Structure 1
Amino acid sequence: MKFDLHTHHFRCGHADGNIRDYIEAGIAAGLQVIGISDHTPYFASAEEQPFPRIAMGKQELKSYVDEVLKLKKEYEGQIDVLLGIESDFFPEHASLYRSTLAAYPFDYIIGSVHSSDNTSIFNKSRWKNLSPKEQIVHKENYYDLIRQSARSGMFQILGHIDAMKGNYPPFSEIPAEKAIDDTLRTIAECGVAIEINTSGKTKLSGGWYPSDAILERALHYGVEVTFGSDAHIPSRVGDEWEQVAARLKEIGFTTWVYYKQKQKQTVAL
């Protein structure tokens, strides 16, 4: 079974196409399951849409859900359309995000850390003038947030868990093995899956999130995996699915998962 759980569309302000375009692209790519998972609004902001090129406005959430559910019915029998969303994780606002998202019938929620130390993880400038010791602290803080997100119970999937390398490839060489191992152990204990996200190819780092080295350690700790293209254009839906499946088999995985009505569905590789 071929599936892709991570797709975006125009509402987030930095993706092209509407939801129907991504569903049609999924059918063309041979998917049996497609998850729609646009970015959550910034619920804690007093503004309706403080970052219009990053996430949808708060008033858009209901229309987003309604549109996905309508298309789910329309495409029944052709492709299984799942209602997902990609949520930021801010520990200080976790209860607000939890209660707001609980009002909607999501099949799954992807928890992604996009900001740490009050700076975007993709901001190349954050690394300027940091000493090696300070770089380690920044990396450890990032993984601490990921551990907190796993323990929050809010998410079925954790998104792109080494995406901080995206615009700063040397991130992967910053020594923080204990932080990564502690994170993978926590993820496994909490029963949350991690995605193999093929959008890393669109960043300076190239390749996928997470690295093969992290995937090998994830297997060791018993972490389950899923697939997400993180498509921001319809043509990337299902991108490199076959290559990811083959690599996971080489590493030693025998299954991967997706979620429907927040229940894990296990698929043989």
Structure 2
Amino acid sequence: MKFDLHTHHYRCGHASGEIRNYIEAGVERGLSVIGISDHSPFFWSEEDQYKPGIAMAKSDFQNYINEVLALKEEYEGKIDVLLGIESDFFPEHIEIYKQAYEKVPFDYIIGSVHFSGGKSIFDKTLFHETDKKRKVEIKEEYYGLIMESARSGMFQILGHIDAMKGFYPAFSEIATPEVETALKVIGECGIAIEVNTSAKNKDAEGWYPSDDILEKALYYGVDISFGSDSHVPERVGDEFELVCKKLKEIGFQRMVYYKKKQKQIVKI
């Protein structure tokens, strides 16, 4: 059984195509399940669409929900369309986000840390002119937020948990016990992390997270989900079979997705 829970579309401002295009791509690629999970609005901002090239407008949020639910009905019997969202995690704004989500019939919410220490994790200058000590501090700040996001109770899946390596591949070599501590916390919270195949579009190439993190995730009993993080329909389901192969080599026997926020088991 093939599934993909991490897809975007035009509303976020940096992806192309309609939601329907991604669903059709899922059908063509033999997916049984496709999750739509565009970037959440910046609910805490007074502006309707803060950073238009990053996330959807607050005024478009309900339109997004309505469209996914309508397409879910339309494609019933062809492919299971799930309503998700990729939510930013800002610890100081947790209640604002919880209120925005509480009445929405999400199948799942992906919690992603995109900002740490006041900067985007994809800021190409993040590690410029920083000494070894500061690099460790930056990495530990990032994993501190990931741990908070796991404990928040808001999410079923945590997105791309080593995405800070996107434009700084040496990130993986920065040694700190916080990575393993974070995985232990995630396992205790009973939520999943995703294997995200979009790193191939950045300097890091490959996938998020690294094999080393996946091996530790297995040790701590962390479930694995899958997301292409596709921003074009052509990438829907990208490398799903290769991910399954790698997970089996590491020792995983299953993957998971979520429907009505309930964990669904897929044997691999």
Same fold (TM over 0.5): yes
Instruction: Tell me how far 1:88 sits from its aligned partner.
Output: 0.2
Match in the other structure for 1:19: 19
Q: Which amino acid aligns with 1:126?
A: L
Q: Deviations over 1:18-77 (max 9, x none)?
A: 000000000011100000000000000010001110000001000000000000000000
SS at match of 1:125: coil
The one-letter code matched in structure 2 to 1:180 is V
Q: Please give the alpha-carbon distance, in whole angstroms, between the structure 1 residues aligned to 2:7 and 2:160.
A: 13
Q: Counterpart in 1 of 2:210?
A: 211
Which residue matches 1:191? 190
Matched, 1:172 2:163: no
Q: Does 1:71 align with 2:71?
A: yes
Give the Cα–Cα distance (whole angstroms) in 1 for the partners of residues 129 and 228 of structure 2: 33
Match of 1:148 in 2: 148
Query: Equivalent residue of 2:161, what SS?
Result: coil
Cα deviation, residue 102, structure 1: 1.1
- Letter paired with 1:233: V
**What CA distance in whole angstroms lies between the structure 2 residues aligned with 1:223 and 1:91?**
23
SS at match of 1:59: helix
Letter in 2 for 1:223: V
Shift of 1:113: 0.2
Give the Cα separation in 1 of the matches to 2:126 and 2:249: 35
The corresponding residue for 2:249 is 250
* 1:28 aligned partner: 28
- Within 2, Cα distance between the matches of 1:170 and 1:152? 29
* SS of structure 2 residue aligned to 1:109: strand
- Aligned residue for 1:226? 225
Deviating beyond 2 angstroms after TM superposition, the runs of 4 or more aligned structure 1 residues are none
CA distance in 1, matches of 2:49, 2:179: 34
Match of 2:38 in 1: 38
1:218 is aligned with what amino acid? A
Unaligned 5+ runs, structure 2 = none
Q: Give aligned-pair identity as a percent.
A: 63
TM-score, normalised by the number of residues in structure 1: 0.99
Task: Please give the TM-score of this superposition, normalised by the length of structure 2.
Answer: 0.99
1:258 deviation in Å? 0.3
Query: For 2:246 and 2:131, how far apart are their aligned partners in 1?
Result: 35
User: Counterpart in 2 of 1:263?
Assistant: 262
What is the aligned partner in structure 1 of residue 161 from structure 2? 161
1:65-107: per-residue Cα shift (whole Å, max 9, x none)?
Answer: 0000000000000000000000000000011101111121000
The one-letter amino acid paired with 1:159 is G
Residue number in structure 1 paired with 2:237: 238
Question: Does 2:88 match 1:88?
Answer: yes
The separation in 1 between residues aligned to 2:120 and 2:215, in whole angstroms, is 27
Amino acid at match of 1:213: D
